[in-house]
Amino acid sequence: MGFAVPGAYGYSTTLTERTVTLIASPTSFTQTVGGSAQASPVYEVENDAVETVTSVKIDNTTTGTAITWSGQLEQGNIIRIDTDAMLAEFSSDGGTTWSASMANLSTGHEWPRFAARVDNTIEVTGVADGKIRLSYRDTYL
C-alpha cells in the first residue's frame, strides 16, 4: 500500500484557528504547532483604533522570519497575509471583499511560517488596538 499526496506534504484535516487581541505595540504571543513540517498560516490583522496605522510587522522570532506591510490601515480595515499562497490582501469593508496588496510589502521579506513541534513566538508591531486571527493546518512529511 502506498500513500500519495499532491506535492511533498500531507495536511491535517483539522483547521486550527485562533484570535489574539492586540493591546500594545508590539504584542507577543506563543502558538504551539504540531505536525512534522513547517505550517503555512494565514494571518489577518485588524485595526480597531481610531488612529490610522501605516506599518504592520508580523515577526516569527522563533524562525527569524518576518514580513512588513506599509499602507493606510484605518479603523476596521484588515490585512491578510497568506503564507501558503504568498499573497498579501487588504479589505476596507471588514473582510467582505479583498484586493491584492503585494506592492505594500517590504522588500526582502520572508513569509513567517510556523516551525513544527515547537512553540512559535509571534510578535505583531504597528497595531496597538486590534486583533490578529490565525488559521493553519498542521503539516506532515
- Mean pLDDT, the chain, rounded, equals 94
pLDDT mean over 109-122: 97
pLDDT in tens, 51-94: 999 999 999 999 999 999 999 999 999 999 999 999 999 999 99
Count CA within 13 A, CB hemisphere, residue 31. 31
Q: Do 101 and 90 contact (CB within 8 A), yes or no?
A: yes
Residue 123 within a domain? yes
Element of type H or E holding 20: strand 16-22
In a domain, 127, yes or no: yes
Hey, what's the cell of 103?
506592492
pLDDT of 4 reads: 54
Number of domains in the chain: 1
Its domain, for residue 112, covers 14-140
Domain for residue 61, yes or no?
A: yes
Cβ atoms < 10 Å from Cβ of 132: 23
CATH number (domain holding residue 38): 2.60.120.860
Distance CA 126, CA 100 (A): 20
Residue 21 lies in a domain: yes
| Residue 6 included in any domain | no
Residue that has been written with the C-alpha cell 499532491 in this structure: 6
Chain segment 5-28, per-residue pLDDT in tens: 556 678 888 999 999 999 999 999
pLDDT at residue 99 is higher than 90:
yes
| Whether pLDDT at 119 is above 90 | yes
In a domain, 47, yes or no: yes
Band the pLDDT of 41: cuts 50, 70, 90: very high
Rounded to an integer, the average pLDDT of 119-125 is: 98
* C-beta neighbour count of 54 within 10 angstroms: 11
In a domain, 112, yes or no: yes
Does 2 reside within a domain?
no
DSSP letter (8 states) at residue 48 = -
